[in-house]
Structure 1
Amino acid sequence: MPGQNLTQIEAIERAAKIQVQNYLVQLDLTANEKTFRSKTTVHFSALAGAKDTFIDAITAEVHSLTLNGNSIDKSAADGSRIALTGLQEQNVLVVDADFFFMNTGEGLHRFVDPVDQEVYLYTQFEVPDSRRMFAVFEQPNLKAEFTFEVIASSRWKVISNQALASKEELSAGNARFVFKTTPKISSYITALVAGPYHEVRSELTSSDGRIIPLGVFSRASLAEYLDADYIFEKTRQGFEFFESNFKLAYPFEKYDQLFVPEFNAGAMENAGCVTFTENYVFRSKVSDATRERRVVTILHELAHMWFGDLVTMEWWNDLWLNESFAEYASTLATAEATEWHGAWTTFASLEKSWAYRQDQLPSTHPIVASIKDLEDVLVNFDGITYAKGASVLKQLVAWVGQDKFMAGVAKYFEKHAWGNTQLKDLLAELEAVSGRDLSEWSALWLETAGVNTMKPAIETDGSVIKSFAIMQTAIKEQPTIRPHRMAVGFYNLIDGKVIRTNRIELDADGAQTMVTEAVGLELPDLILLNDDDLAYTKIRLDEKSWKFAIENLGKIDDSLARSLIWGAAWDATRDAETPARDFIQLVLNNIAFETESTTVLTLLRQLLIAAKQFVAPENRDAEVARVADELLELATLAKPGSDSQFQFAKFFAQFACADRHFDALEKLLSQKLQLSGLEIDTDLAWELLTGLVVGGRKTATDIDQMLAKDNTSNGQRAAIAARAAIPTAESKKAIWQQLTTDKSLSNVLVDAGSLAFGRTLDDSLIEPFVAPYFEAVLELWNNNTFKIAEYLIENLYPTGLASNELVALTAAKLQDSQVQQIPALSRILLESKANVERALRAQQKDSEN
């Protein structure tokens, strides 16, 4: 057996052999800190006379196996799978085994709160990790009913997909929690959360008249920061929006939202039991970008209750459809049903920039990806699956019309409730309601990779447009030319503001599309392709418009239009068409006028890349110092207490590189320097301290003292990041050793420490680890779970040392036959190499100017 990596062929073969009716999962969580007892009883049918199959179970120790009352030799279990032979038409399998508690955010994760030493558990099963808690036929199209019985501390809250049916007090302070049986669902959206969680209750009335119980949970030590009323408000708004648009009441019996520690993702759509990263419980000030993202995430997971949980993909090649639909629907709901009306600007700034970046890597793939096994799935939680897919769905909505799109979706839910589907099932419903043949659209948009570039070609007589064409190009590696539903906006400077004065919407198809409606119109100050961001495409501006946009960016009234111009500027910088220092100057000249928090955040992140990776080495030190100076000035001049002031101060700490900067950081941290309205709260204090550590002004002793005051999960994460940034050879060696060998480190500590490892003002501190990195990658991959290996190999890659030598070393590793046998590892290295090559091209362009 090939261990844990289930292939699509195996899944197809197994689904043809069996049909699963139900699971009874009986857990005892009280035995010890390392393992727990799990007894699974599963009823399933053998189809067409099938006599053998296998069930998945990643076990610590198997106690007994019984099939149809007959004992199975324990050798049938290899630690990942259990071979089953001698099947009957109807079968009852009982697997009694110990399973491991995890500290990697995969399976049943165990966390001890450093504040009060309380134990908290939660599950994370997507993609293939329910098999880390019970024996299961681990694939999305083998749906079944699940009943969970759990022995745990009597004082704990124990939560699952369904409501609690009974609680029986046992000896030694324990109790048996028995849950109602679930509807027929996939194993990856089952869930268990247990511990002394703080709980807030409410309810709502569904569109079918049912009362839906609501719960919001957090760790007890975070209870004072849990703004449950706001979360309930957004949840109610989402319920009303989705039930109205989907024409179908919420399909489950309750809706609990649980903020859990050390979570690897933003959230997970477990049916009726959604888990979120507790970064969304705000103990300190956060940007409005983060607050808005929390709302989008809440609505994203709620959308999944219909799209993903009620109707589920047949196999993981349609993972994109689950995620893209939820991302599109949640952005739409955020914009139309909540106070965050600028959600589409946020989508353009954050999601689309992610999609464009991912789509220009050599690892890019069609939206409908080829998923031959579980390892393929794990690396496809990417910008194509989420952001490009959602962008293309937005384009599809523009193509068929939003009302018809939603009508088709409603028919899809009605027809396929509680079942599994493929993409063709959704397209069939959309074709039926819209009257459009989507086969060509699907082939061009979903089955090919790459992003097109659109440029205007304009002829005038000086003031009037004589000819206007949209030119579409593609790179030779992804040569597809696609049909785009898009708008062209005309903007003019009027009374000190740049506002839209005309809009033309059309289908742009082929290498050249003539915009006949523009002929004879007066040439505006600015012509903006893809106005309103309907299409998925990179854009460029004509020379006159570009010059005007650079000079008047802060005066453009519409935030989405600004976002598109920012995006075009960044694309041109990434593509080495314009020097990085020009982009930096553009940002510094205009960011103070930007009103959208996510756009500000995106620009500041891009500033980091531009200054520290894209500026030529001979210009870099001076440019980084200039950015730091400007950010401190911007923070000083910003409106007191504003979101922009907060973000400028945070990023100043990341750019600080000279004595004057470290002097300012020390004064801010000690509050000898006070910026009106800026509170130095706990998390911001860690940011300032870490900036001082990078500059050699603070030491391990200072980190220990700060941690003693903030010995929390957040504090521990900040502390390991600060230690990883200590600028001495000895400290770098120690943290490298800890990250790569210490299995007691949890997932979030590995992520935080490895991310901060390369943060230095002295590249010579990182250079000694280049060779050890390439020597260690195979061992790191083979000796860790997927998520830990991914954190280490991505984060420790020495991107900051961009050079032809680094490219050559990476290319050589990619030729290693063992690496080539691990596509997920190869992809990480290939993408890292591509990022270095892009940086070198950008540096060359910057050095020429």
Structure 2
Amino acid sequence: MPGENLTRSEAIERAAAIATERYRIELDLRGDDTFSSITTIEFAATAAETFVDLIGTVNSIMLNGEQIDPSVHVDSRIHLTGLRDHNTLVVDATCRFMNTGEGMHRFVDPVDGETYLYTQFEVADARRVFAVFEQPDLKAEFTFDVTAPSHWQVFSNSPTPEPTTVDETSSRWEFTPSERISSYLTAIVAGPYRGGTSELVSSDGRTIPLGVYCRASLAEHLDADEVMDITKAGFAFFEKEYSHPYPFRKYDQIFVPEFNAGAMENAGAVTITETYVFRSRATGAVIERRAITILHELAHMWFGDLVTMKWWDDLWLNESFAEFMSHLALDEATRWNQAWQTFLASEKSWAMNADQLRSTHPIVSGVSDLEEVWANFDGITYGKGASVLKQLVAYVGRETFMAGLSEYFTKHSWKNTELSDLLAELETASGVDLSEWSRLWLEESGLTLARPEMTVEGGTITGFSVVQELGNSANLRPHRMGIGLYDLEDGRLMLRRRVDVTVAGDRTAVDELVGEASADLVLLNDGDLAYTKIRLDETSLETAVRHIGAFDDPLARTLVLEAAWDMCRDAEMSASSYTELALAAIETEDHPTVLRMLLLNVAQAATIYSSPAHRDSLVVTVADALFAIADRAEGGSELQFQVALEAARRAKSDSQLDRIDSWLDGAELPTGFTLDTDGRWTVIQSLAAAGRIDETAIESELKNDDTATGREAAWRARASLPTPEAKESAFGALVAGELPNMQQRSALFGFQAGDHRVLEPFFSRYLDCLTTVWSEQTYEMAQQLATRMFTPSIIGRGIDVEGALDGWLEEHEDAAPALRRIIIEHGDYTRRALAAQEADA
């Protein structure tokens, strides 16, 4: 990625030198490999020179009516001199369609041969489509003029106009100017998309058109009404909470193919991964995740789009707020009313895992250039930031918090802000000085640990303290947390008493609990307000292991399960003991997302954290337990559906593999369980990883499902085959960058699977190829490969994985920060796995 970086100091200097006014972008999208892009930019200048960003081929440049030699375009920058007070720049360029999910992504549907396009510009990929001052604080109006096949639909930030005819097969869509937004929030989506429309009345009386679309071959599976219902509920909720009307003129949501992320908050034209268009049965966890995603992107229309960060070190201002507000809206405005349980099991758990890595960083981190930005789309920016905001709302009061936000939106509409701008409005609304809160929670990294310490005499608590440990945090932080006393009554774990206390320093006495009868289970952070690791005392842990299905309060149960998982990760609880606890919990879990996370954790505990000496037998035991749970579960239930598919993934013994093989013929299925198209691929991939089928069987399955999803699944199955030849073929295609982004991702997941002995020879080759891949492939493709070609199954098997990773870091001190971070995290993962394996031995 040479010449494509941008430093913060360069951005500050450029923002001081120019002021952007408006863009006109003319795109001709009728080509196969490239497209024409003509950009006209009007901008003011106070300096004599600057630069414009473009990744493409320049055909001509005209500045203020004078032609400029295209040779001024060097390393993705067009260098401009002789600027006036007011300037008009016209850049005629040829740009390339991408298959990496960056810039202008082009996809051809294997079902009907139709072409679909969409743009993805965050962090800095608008420059792959048009000439642009590519930084968030140079906002402007954007006008798009698009020529494309007449049977397509074209979407952008502004309402879609009626097209005019160009020739027998082509038309032109001339959009009106957008609102004043950042370049990374602009969008073009084009192709024969199909869907539904609706409308709503905004709080200021405007009628807002709504649209929900996907590609034609998936249209029969698009539940547009459900998406519309969630969207309308979100509109009403956010307009009320923010006391600010929706800022744009329409709201389209387009489910697009081969999308790298969950969704993107393009102003008025949100793009969402089409994996949320369910062609087969989806788990309740995925259906809920889609609802959160819809609300997350809608929340961005205010926080991120109307008011935008000045530079990427305040990325959290976008993502943490959208994450917090989406769960709040989900909980209070939709049918999913256990959103904070979902948040704990997914986002918060993700955040706490990330916050314990050596690569941890403050929520507000000093981002010096674009490469650092890409690395910060992580659990800290999303989950920790949202956790901290949840605490802040409880601290200052929700009404006060929302009042501060309303004033923030009013004062800074269509502008760029920094953290201090937000804190000023929250301080004014609450009357609370937030500088110390900001320092401890936003500007320092790391995670503390809280333990209960109590004395009991004659069945009565005679002393109780919360002991706080630094963990990897520089300072102990204050926490407002609940402490719950739970008793076993008639087979149920019932809350007897809860006290809310402020925990500060290394020891906080809780006198309110002195004199209480001892409890069967004591739970710190009951209610899940504090952001800290917690531990259970010995009696409480024993109660949890024996009675995990007895909780009346599902959030308390999830807190206990999260604490147990953290203990397993910290080698304080053996992987074997954790799997026993988690399997017992799975059988009685009725929350789809918690169930999904339990299944993922069980798999990691059994296959990575367990001792290699008895891993094979543990994996078989876990799979047997999962098959048994699926057989006992109610036919067709969420529990049966998730567990049966996970049993297929974990199948190891001959009898287990024989059983799932028979599923393909409709035999030996759990009563009431249906193996649909995507379920068949799960079985095929598992059989492939076990060496029970060959590539011929995979190709036969693909003939029955020659769709985009089928092709991705087939790649995963091929790469899963446990032979040196299959791994070599996958390795070569991946390193060469031969596959589109989603097929690459699937192949990488497959590459990780199979016999560790077959994978071991590839580990050193993986390390050797990293710098070449990083320099030759786009960021998205390179980070995918660097992250997922690492094969955890070889840890603890005789190869010095930890030493090799540390050696690579020593030899590549000048490697890109984002790449080094990935290897640092692999090293942390390895050390944690080795410690857990030793504890399980």
- Relative to the length of structure 2, the TM-score reads 0.99
Please list, as runs of the form range in 1=range in 2, the aligned pairs for 1:272-351 lying within 5 A after superposition.
Answer: 272-351=268-347
Please list, as runs of the form range in 1=range in 2, the aligned pairs for 1:756-771 lying within 5 A after superposition.
Answer: 756-760=750-754, 762-771=755-764
Amino acid at match of 1:124: Q
Is residue 2:136 matched to residue 1:136? no
- Distance across 1 between alignment mates of 2:329 and 2:495: 25
Indicate which of 197, 202, 210 corresponds to 1:206.
202
SS in 2 for 1:23: strand
2:2 and 2:75 in contact (8 A); partners too: no
Deviation of 1:79 after TM superposition, in Å, equals: 4.8
1:366 and 1:448 in contact (8 A); partners too: yes
Is residue 2:356 matched to residue 1:356? no
Q: Deviations over 1:64-94 (max 9, x none)?
A: 0010001111111125110010000000000
Q: Deviations over 1:533-569 (max 9, x none)?
A: 1011110112222221221110101111111000100
Please list, as runs of the form range in 1=range in 2, the aligned pairs for 1:237-636 lying within 5 A after superposition.
Answer: 237-475=233-471, 477-636=472-631
SS in 2 for 1:41: strand
SS in 2 for 1:617: coil
Same amino acid, percent of matched pairs: 50
1:15 matched residue in structure 2: 15
SS in 1 for 2:36: strand
- Distance across 1 between alignment mates of 2:410 and 2:496: 43
2:38 matched residue in structure 1: 39
Please list, as runs of the form range in 1=range in 2, the aligned pairs for 1:626-665 lying within 5 A after superposition.
Answer: 626-665=621-660
2:38 and 2:90 in contact (8 A); partners too: yes
- Distance across 2 between alignment mates of 1:106 and 1:79: 18
- Distance across 2 between alignment mates of 1:682 and 1:694: 19
Indicate which of 788, 801, 806 corresponds to 1:795.
788
2:826 matched residue in structure 1: 832
1:398 and 1:485 in contact (8 A); partners too: no
Q: Deviations over 1:278-299 (max 9, x none)?
A: 0100000111000000000000
SS in 2 for 1:766: helix
2:741 matched residue in structure 1: 747
2:668 matched residue in structure 1: 673
Deviation of 1:718 after TM superposition, in Å, equals: 0.3
Indicate which of 704, 725, 738 corresponds to 1:709.
704
1:75 matched residue in structure 2: 71
- Distance across 2 between alignment mates of 1:838 and 1:2: 34
1:54 matched residue in structure 2: 51
1:139 and 1:187 in contact (8 A); partners too: yes
1:485 and 1:505 in contact (8 A); partners too: yes
SS in 2 for 1:139: coil
- Distance across 2 between alignment mates of 1:753 and 1:343: 33
Amino acid at match of 2:794: L
1:107 and 1:123 in contact (8 A); partners too: yes
1:683 matched residue in structure 2: 678
- Distance across 2 between alignment mates of 1:229 and 1:550: 43
Question: Which region of structure 1 is more displaced relative to structure 2, 564-573 or 71-80?
Answer: 71-80
- Distance across 1 between alignment mates of 2:2 and 2:653: 54
Q: Deviations over 1:110-168 (max 9, x none)?
A: 00001001000000000000111000000000000000000001110000001123421
Question: Which region of structure 1 is more displaced relative to structure 2, 365-374 or 819-828?
Answer: 819-828
Deviation of 1:499 after TM superposition, in Å, equals: 2.2
Amino acid at match of 1:663: D
- Distance across 1 between alignment mates of 2:329 and 2:588: 27
Question: Which region of structure 1 is more displaced relative to structure 2, 549-558 or 121-130?
Answer: 549-558
Deviation of 1:742 after TM superposition, in Å, equals: 4.3
2:195 and 2:224 in contact (8 A); partners too: no
- Distance across 1 between alignment mates of 2:112 and 2:748: 27
SS in 2 for 1:356: helix
SS in 2 for 1:534: coil
- Distance across 2 between alignment mates of 1:730 and 1:459: 62
- Distance across 2 between alignment mates of 1:751 and 1:125: 20
Amino acid at match of 2:764: A
- Distance across 1 between alignment mates of 2:733 and 2:815: 28
Structure 2 unaligned blocks of 5 or more: none
Is residue 2:24 matched to residue 1:24? yes
Amino acid at match of 1:599: V
Indicate which of 218, 229, 232 corresponds to 2:228.
232
Is residue 2:804 matched to residue 1:805? no
SS in 1 for 2:144: strand
- Distance across 2 between alignment mates of 1:403 and 1:553: 37
1:246 and 1:406 in contact (8 A); partners too: yes
Give structure 1 regions of 4+ aligned residues with deviation exceeding 3 angstroms: none
Amino acid at match of 2:382: Y
2:444 and 2:474 in contact (8 A); partners too: no
Deviation of 1:654 after TM superposition, in Å, equals: 1.7
SS in 2 for 1:670: coil
1:686 and 1:718 in contact (8 A); partners too: yes
- Distance across 1 between alignment mates of 2:84 and 2:762: 57
1:166 and 1:179 in contact (8 A); partners too: no
- Distance across 1 between alignment mates of 2:143 and 2:276: 30
Indicate which of 160, 185, 189 corresponds to 1:193.
189
- Distance across 1 between alignment mates of 2:310 and 2:474: 30
- Distance across 2 between alignment mates of 1:787 and 1:139: 19
Deviation of 1:462 after TM superposition, in Å, equals: 2.8
SS in 2 for 1:329: helix
- Distance across 2 between alignment mates of 1:91 and 1:189: 24
Question: Which region of structure 1 is more displaced relative to structure 2, 11-20 or 458-467?
Answer: 458-467
Amino acid at match of 1:780: V
- Distance across 2 between alignment mates of 1:664 and 1:805: 37
2:548 and 2:584 in contact (8 A); partners too: no
1:6 matched residue in structure 2: 6
Indicate which of 810, 834, 843 corresponds to 2:837.
843
Amino acid at match of 1:23: Y
1:470 and 1:514 in contact (8 A); partners too: yes
Amino acid at match of 1:518: L
1:491 and 1:499 in contact (8 A); partners too: yes
Structure 1 unaligned blocks of 5 or more: none
- Distance across 1 between alignment mates of 2:769 and 2:183: 35
Is residue 2:779 matched to residue 1:783? no
1:86 matched residue in structure 2: 82
Amino acid at match of 2:190: A
- Distance across 2 between alignment mates of 1:162 and 1:156: 17
Is residue 2:815 matched to residue 1:816? no
Amino acid at match of 2:830: V
Q: Deviations over 1:343-370 (max 9, x none)?
A: 1001000111111110111100111112
Matched positions, count: 839
